[in-house]
Amino acid sequence: MKIGNLDLGHKPLLLAPMEDVTDSPFRTICRRKGANIVYTEFISSEAIIRDSDQAMHKMDFSEKERPFGVQIFGGREEAMDGAARIAESNNPDVVDINFGCPVYKIVKKGAGSACLKDMGLMERMAGSVVDAVENKPVTVKTRLGWDYRTIKIQEAALMLQDLGVKALTVHARTRNQKYKGDAQWQWLKKLKNTPGLEIPVIGNGDVTTPQDAKRMFDETGVDGVMIGRGAIGNPWIFERAHHYIETGELLPEPTVDDRIELCADQLRRSVDHHGERYGVIIMKKHYGQYLKGVRNSRQLRAAIMEEKEMQPILDLLFQFKDQKMYAEAS
Ligand SMILES: Cc1cc2nc3c(=O)[nH]c(=O)nc-3n(C[C@H](O)[C@H](O)[C@H](O)COP(=O)(O)O)c2cc1C
């Protein structure tokens, strides 16, 4: 699959943008574990043009993450134009536009999934970004539509292709579904079969196992599969899904020791990247998933959540691992 000139190989697996989750440390780990491209969380175009420290920090990345995309959102053409130029000057591989965020406070400003209600708005926003970005491919991530009655994803895809958008990711839910109900993969197949649609379509929604990833490719014909929640605390999903798609063989799940070591590795990177205070806070989104299903981990999780510094958390994690507390009768 190619996004413009960027070749992501056959049946690529993409790490989904996720607010407060897909920071540079997590993206680096996911790339190492086989994600073919990774994205920043969505970054406000208004914050970017204001030169907000927080927004600029969200755009920081290391060379090890490449290929890497910056995702921006907004409801004003001038802000999207300016933010897209600044994002490009930061030298990512892709600039991605968020037309999918369902959150009310974003939508009411005409940003995120508001564009699903107003194709003219989508056209103007995407057009301003495509015009502003000179040398990098522009991509879009969106949902099926605003609600079931108004799904216009095929029309939207053709319009975006005409504007010069180089790939389209679709979370196969409507805005009104938010995260509820199953993702409607049948729409991905319809989209892939749209006459005249040539840009790659990346499917997204409810891929949490290697088998799901293969099934999404097989059932819908999408060019790439994007994984969000299924990668949190589980970056192995990328290498395990690649292996399963290539060979039909399911690699074993990571051991508890593997999980604790990778969790500790991410914590160290997180503190290195964000500083001790925020680095420790942001990791709180990840422990539950790294330790999911691990026997006797409830107390460990509770103890970790109380800590404000890295070293006591590392001590707790390694004590649990080295003393094999997960093997004790509960
Ligand atoms: C915590 C969280 C934060 C998210 N933040 C973003 C975001 O910043 N930009 C975006 O396009 N989608 C965002 N999403 C949506 C995901 O990228 C993805 O489309 C959705 O979770 C469905 O994929 P999944 O079933 O593989 O998780 C977020 C989802 C979650 C769970």
> How far does the centroid of ligand 1 lie from the alpha carbon of residue 98, in Å?
10
Q: Judge if the beta carbon of residue 71 lies within 6 A of ligand 1.
A: yes
Half-sphere exposure of 99 (CA within 13 A, CB side): 33
Tell whether residue 141 is among the known ligand binding residues: yes
222 torsion bin: left (phi>0), alpha (psi -120 to 50), beta (else): beta
- End-to-end CA distance of the chain: give it in Å, rounded: 48
Report the 3 state secondary structure along 175-212: CCCCCCCCCCCHHHHHHHCCCCCCCCEEEECCCCCHHH
pLDDT above 80 (res 77): yes
Give the residue whose CA is nearest to atom 21 of ligand 1: 228
Which residue out of 19, 169, 177 has the highest number of ligand 1 atoms within 8 Å of its CB and is therefore the one to mutate?
A: 19
Angle ∠(200,201,206) on CA atoms, nearest 5:
150
Give the residue whose CA is nearest to atom 3 of ligand 1: 18
- Alpha carbon distance 51, 45 (integer Å): 10
* Residue among 30, 101, 115, 263 flagged as catalytic: 101
Give catalytic status of residue 263 as yes or no.
Answer: no
In this prediction, residue 232 carries a pLDDT of 98
Give the residue whose CA is nearest to atom 14 of ligand 1: 18
Reported as a single tens digit per residue, the pLDDT across 165-181 is: 999 999 999 999 999 99
- Alpha carbon distance 84, 137 (integer Å): 11
> How far does the centroid of ligand 1 lie from the alpha carbon of residue 311, in Å?
30
In this prediction, residue 329 carries a pLDDT of 80
Residue with tokens 């891929």: 207
Atom of ligand 1 nearest to the CA of 100: 11
- Alpha carbon distance 112, 324 (integer Å): 46
In this prediction, residue 125 carries a pLDDT of 96
Cβ–Cβ < 8 Å for 15, 22: yes
Reported as a single tens digit per residue, the pLDDT across 180-226 is: 999 999 999 999 999 999 999 999 999 999 999 999 999 999 999 99
Tell whether residue 171 is among the known ligand binding residues: yes
Tell whether residue 173 is among the known ligand binding residues: no
Give the residue whose CA is nearest to atom 6 of ligand 1: 18
pLDDT above 80 (res 146): yes
Reported as a single tens digit per residue, the pLDDT across 262-281 is: 999 999 999 999 999 999 99
In this prediction, residue 72 carries a pLDDT of 98
Give the residue whose CA is nearest to atom 13 of ligand 1: 18
pLDDT above 80 (res 330): no
- Alpha carbon distance 199, 277 (integer Å): 43
Which residue ranges form the domains of the chain, and what is each CATH number?
2-247 (3.20.20.70), 256-327 (1.10.1200.80)
State the average pLDDT over residues 129-146: 97
State the average pLDDT over residues 117-138: 96
Atom of ligand 1 nearest to the CA of 171: 19
Tell me the pLDDT of the chain averaged across its residues: 97
> How far does the centroid of ligand 1 lie from the alpha carbon of residue 228, in Å?
6
**Nearest Cα to 183, choosing from 193, 192, 194, 170?**
170
In this prediction, residue 328 carries a pLDDT of 85
Tell whether residue 71 is among the known ligand binding residues: yes
Cβ–Cβ < 8 Å for 175, 113: yes
Q: Judge if the beta carbon of residue 260 lies within 6 A of ligand 1.
A: no
Residue 108 burial (10 A CB sphere; 0-12, 13-18, 19+): exposed
How far from chain centre, in Å, is Cα 267? 19
Atom of ligand 1 nearest to the CA of 42: 8
pLDDT above 80 (res 110): yes
CA torsion 242-249-26-32 (nearest 10°) is -60
